[in-house]
Structure 1
Amino acid sequence: MDTSSRRPTLTIALCFIVALIEGFDLQSAGTAAAGLRQSFELDPKMLGWVFSASIVGLLPGAFFGGWLADRIGRKKVLVAAVILFGVFSLWTAYVAGYGQLLVARLMTGLGLGAALPNLIALCAEAVGEQRRSTAISIMYSGVPLGGALAAVVAMFTHDHWQMTFIIGGLAPLLAVPLILALLPESRAFQQAGVVQQRASTSAALFGEGRAGATLLLWLSYFFTLTVMYMLLNWLPSLLIGQGFSKPDAGLVQMVFNIGGAIGSLLGGVLLDRGNPVRVALCIYAGLLASLAGLGLSSGLAAMAIAGFAAGLFVLAAQLVLYASAPPLYPTTVRATGVGAAVAIGRLGSVSGPLAAGQILAAGAGTAGVLLAASPGLVIAALAVARVLRRPEEPVRTAATPLHKAGS
């Protein structure tokens, strides 16, 4: 009984550690950008491809990582993913040229993408329905905290950009023995049975009345991550364009990440304790208001508050999506469903920075970028509210194997 009670806590704690490392590696290239530019003599376009390479790798990594996890197990795929992004993050510190750098970042992204659906599935299946969103939020708060940690490391290793990737590579490799020894495989997955796990991808995503919810979920993922990655990639540049200094822009980026960690935690707790539809709509309304604050603020204090709020609400919105996906799918196809949604979100993560660049090139300025993001957020809010408002019966029917598995 005691071991059983510790099992969910252990799962969430270990997944949090992996998410922390993942958040560090996700933002490592951005924090080491100056060193990369100088060492490899990169122009802005070449540096853009370095950033894009890891993001492009996230998309197939998320989809196939989830798909494979429904066939061989969440833990096995997570371990493989952690090894993959650890090895190639470490290699990034020692690459000999631009071509190798692109390959290293692409493969790092592949591993990072494969890890996330399994972290979500493991946490969702470790606890009961009443605590599912909270479990996922605790785990996912590690991602923005890892991003903030990457920024801190970059501050202390400014002239040695390789250290960022050495730390980002060694940390996951050192975590692998811990995961192998202590992380329990999902009990729901084990009890669901291997034979049932051969459902086709289309049946997993669109079968048993899930087509409408899956498409709405994808819509929300796409537009929400479009805005999130637009902010992650362009926020410092937008602030500098408004007249702020580089240290001031770095400060706002830091509080953005801290706000994100708090927003991730609050989003999960509120979803479990309040009305999910109202919580989701309030979070998206707060995100729209914080974007307006970023566009209108002139002083550093006001901008820092707006940046904190933007981080809080955009990560809370992402948490709403990550918590909304697992209940839609039965255990035997859950990682596939979550992985596909995350992969669609990665399309948005590629689109956001590109769209922001085009809008800025057209001379629209910071206000134009933030204004252009607003309609997509309204669509995302309405779509996820519709998913959360779905009748109980279809969702419960789809999730029946999970309940039988004792998740």
Structure 2
Amino acid sequence: MAGAAGPVGISAGMQRLTMGLCFLAAAIEGFDLQSAGVAAPRLGPAFQLDPTQMSLVFSAAIAGLIVGALVGGRVSDLKGRKVALMLSLGVFGLFSCLTALTWDYPSLLAARFLTGLGLGGAFPNLIAIASESTERGKAGAVAIIYAGMPLGGALAAVMALHGGHGDWQTVFWMGGIAPLALLPILAVALPAFRLAPTADTPRQGIVQALFAPGRRVDTGALWLGSFFALLVLYLLLNWLPVLLLSRGLPRTLVLGVQIVFNMGGACGSGIAGQLMDRVDRRLTVIVIFLALALALAGLAGAEANFLMAVAAVAGAAVLAAQALIYGLAPGYYPAEVRGLGVGAVVAAGRLGSVAGPLLAGQLIASGSSSADVLMGIIPVAALSGIATFILVARRPA
């Protein structure tokens, strides 16, 4: 038998403290993920970056996220969740601060890649800790943690709306100092979530861990569900403002849409977790993905007066869809490879986050209207829904 992952029998108060610390860490990560977008209007001119170079700045962080998710998950299985989480927070905090000190384009790219490395390593550990900190309601615990990310993103959008980012460096200083300040608190207060192997616990290779008999379909469905869900999410995060502005809508309204989209996402993530733990999971998947399809259709044609409400529903639905997948993922892997398994799911999703903005760019370049783009990703959302339904159909509870 494999040893337990994480503290056994921790008190209810310690569970709440653990969840609170992880939620805070997720919110900080959500802020950092959108920091480059907030800084972009001033960062680009400061370095005299053309659109292609600016895209590479964004892509450097995403590349780091993909690598970091795999590495961070594996480190957590070998060295413990707490160690891996603190190391990841330290890396993205340090290099976010160093981003503010970059002096040319190559140094900026390097800083963003290394920041992404830490960001990617942190999230699989947050998911694993949330799942392992409670015996009941594991999916709901993961979804609550995930809700912190859009709240952090909403804070970044509020900064942009009110011009609070000042010069381009400020947002990176804020995003870097916050995780570094959290480290000593985690060192003292976070339990040591570490696998305690026994003599008969086999050491599994990466391929064996992910594709062991009986786990292959689950891994494939998790990867596909995460890839397509994040494709839709990041297409909306990156291109929705552009698509709405192309319809002649006021910039203040569009920034407001960004804020309610993130706030709706935070609510949707929490609701998804509660539904998974209380309602038939197959019904939950159907309802959430149907709501997402309807919301995308609504965004394609909603009048200005209704746009805020539709955006809130869209944010809630797309974040709920991803929260479903993250909430399910830990349960499909044994404790000794859970960090790697969850990290691989996160990495697959990050590939989707690269594909989404590229897909929108290609559609727009080919002459597609904003409505065409939004309607065109409904089938993509459906593919994520099908993959997620396969997961819950194989294991309904």
Asked if Structure 1 and Structure 2 have the same fold, meaning a TM-score greater than 0.5 normalized by the shorter chain, the answer is yes
Contact 2:260/2:311 (CA < 8 Å) preserved in 1?
A: yes
Distance 1:303 1:194, change over 3 A: farther
Letter in structure 1 aligned against 2:183: V
- Whole-angstrom CA distance in 1 between matches of 2:202 and 2:18: 22
Identify the residue that residue 11 of structure 1 maps to in structure 2. 18
Q: 2:314 aligns with which of 282, 306, 310?
A: 310
How many angstroms apart in 2 are the aligned matches of 1:368 and 1:45?
24
Counterpart for residue 34 of structure 1: 41
- Compute the displacement of 1:193 (Å): 4.5
Task: Give deviations 1:231-281, integer Å, cap 9, x for gaps.
Answer: 111111111011112211101001001101101110101110101111011
Runs of 5+ consecutive residues of structure 2 not aligned to the other structure? 1-7
Cα pair 1:131 1:272 within 8 Å, conserved: yes
* Letter of the 2:375 counterpart: L
Superposed CA deviations along residues 120-152 of structure 1, whole A, max 9, x for unmatched, are 000101111x31111112211110000011122
The alignment status of 1:344 with 2:348, answered yes or no, reads: yes
**CA–CA separation in structure 1 for the residues paired with 2:192 and 2:233:** 31
CA distance in 2, matches of 1:17, 1:338: 20
Match of 1:398 in 2: none
Greater fraction of residues in helix: 1
**Cα offset, 1:194, TM superposition:** 8.7
2: CA distance, partners of 1:235 / 1:87:
31
Per-residue deviation, 1:196: 3.1
Contact 1:63 1:336 in 2 (8 A): yes
In structure 2, what is the equivalent of residue 374 of structure 1?
A: 378
Partner of 2:287: 282
* Structure 2 counterpart of 1:185, one-letter code: A
Residues 82-120 of structure 1, C-alpha deviations (whole Å, 9 max, x = no match): 000001111111110111111111111111000010000
Partner of 1:47: 54
1:342 partner letter: V
Which position in structure 2 is the counterpart of 1:327?
331
In structure 2, the CA distance between the partners of 1:345 and 1:2, relative to structure 1 (3 Å rule), is: closer
Give the % identical residues.
45
Normalising by structure 1, report the TM-score: 0.92
1:359 paired residue number:
363
Q: Check conservation: 2:165, 2:171, Cα contact below 8 A.
A: no
Query: Does the alignment pair 1:297 with 2:297?
Result: no
Q: Distance in 2 between matches of 1:267 and 1:217?
A: 17
Asked whether the equivalents of residues 289 and 381 of structure 2 are also in contact (C-alpha less than 8 Å), the reply is yes
- The answer for the alignment partner of 1:153 in structure 2 is 159
**Partner AA of 1:61 in structure 2:** G
Match of 2:71 in 1: 64
Residues 163, 326 of structure 1: CA spacing in aligned structure 2 closer, same or farther, 3 A cutoff?
same
Looking at structure 2, the residues matched to 33 and 377 of structure 1 have their Cα atoms a distance apart, in angstroms, of: 28
Residue by residue, what CA displacement relative to the aligned partner does 1:164-200 show, whole Å, maximum 9, x if unpaired? Answer: 11010000000010111111022xx434449737311
Aligned length: 389
Contact residue 38 and residue 165 of structure 2 kept, 8 A? no
Q: State the one-letter code of the partner of 2:380.
A: G
Does the CA contact (< 8 Å) of 2:32 and 2:175 recur in 1?
yes
1:193-221 per-residue CA deviation (whole Å, 9 max, x = no partner) reads 49737311111111141001111111111
Q: Which residue of 2 aligns with 1:180?
A: 187
- Distance in 2 (CA, whole Å) between partners of 1:229 and 1:194 is 44
Preserved CA contact (<8 Å) 1:192 1:331: no
Unaligned runs of 5+ residues in structure 1 are 396-407
- Counterpart residue identity of residue 12, structure 1: M
RMSD: 1.7
CA deviations on 1:7-29 (whole Å, 9 max, x unpaired) are 22121111111101000000000
